[in-house]
Amino acid sequence: MNKYKTIALVAHDNRKRDLVEWVEWNWAKLLKHKLICTGTTGRLVEEALTKMNNDAGNHLQLTRLKSGPLGGDQQLGALIAEGKIDILIFFWDPMQAQPHDVDVKALLRIATVYNIPTATNRSTADFLISSPLIEQEYAPKLKDYSQYINRDVY
Ligand SMILES: O=C(CO)COP(=O)(O)O
């Protein structure tokens, strides 16, 4: 991982207010990194960062994917598999079933497969963003899947 990271930001509807507050609290730190968001989360994050950044003139690097239920979670999962996401901040809602529950599960699973630092709540997000590693180069130790890849299948 480079000094500056690519950070994915995602929140379910009941957790969006929480995420926006967190983004407002951490705006100066976040603006140093590339951000990738699912569609609706991205709109809110962009509004919040533009408001906070105001005169600071920092360059906002934010990509918006499709909305989660319309494929955004799957797009993020694919980017993780391609090694294009360094950190996942995903405030998912533990109290409400989602129409795309399987996509949510798949995203969290693939983030684990690829050893992506993942925050699923605000405290963990606080710990991640305040880690000294957030602005240092870092080589995550990847699990060796070669045995699985080269297994005998017949
Ligand atoms: O559904 C989501 C994550 O599972 C988030 O999608 P939106 O940011 O488009 O609301």
Q: Considering the domain boundaries, does residue 87 fall inside one?
A: yes
Catalytic residue among 18, 55, 73, 144: 73
Is the shortest distance between the CB of 39 and ligand 1 below 6 Å? yes
55 has catalytic annotation: no
* Nearest atom in ligand 1 to 13's CA: 10
ipTM above 0.90, yes or no: yes
Which CATH number does the domain housing residue 110 bear? 3.40.50.1380
Render pLDDT for 4-20 as a digit per residue (tens, 0 to 9).
999 999 999 999 999 99
Establish if 154 belongs to a structural domain. Answer: no
In a domain, 85, yes or no: yes
Q: Do the domain assignments include residue 60?
A: yes
Total number of domains in the chain = 1
Domain assignment present for 37 = yes
Specify the pLDDT at position 52. 87
List the domain range (segments joined by +) for residue 19. Answer: 6-149
CA distances from 75 to 21, 38, 64, 65 (A): 25, 9, 10, 7
Q: Is the CB of 6 under 6 A from ligand 1?
A: no
Task: Determine the Cα–Cα distance for residues 107 and 88; give it in Å rounded to an integer.
Answer: 10
Given pLDDT bands bounded at 50, 70 and 90, which one contains residue 62? Answer: very high
Q: How far is CA 109 from the centre of its chain?
A: 13
Neighbours of 148 (CB within 10 A): 8
Sign of the torsion formed by the C-alpha atoms of 113, 35, 5 and 128? negative
Q: What is the pLDDT of residues 80-130, one digit of tens each?
A: 999 999 999 999 999 999 999 999 999 999 999 999 999 999 999 999 999
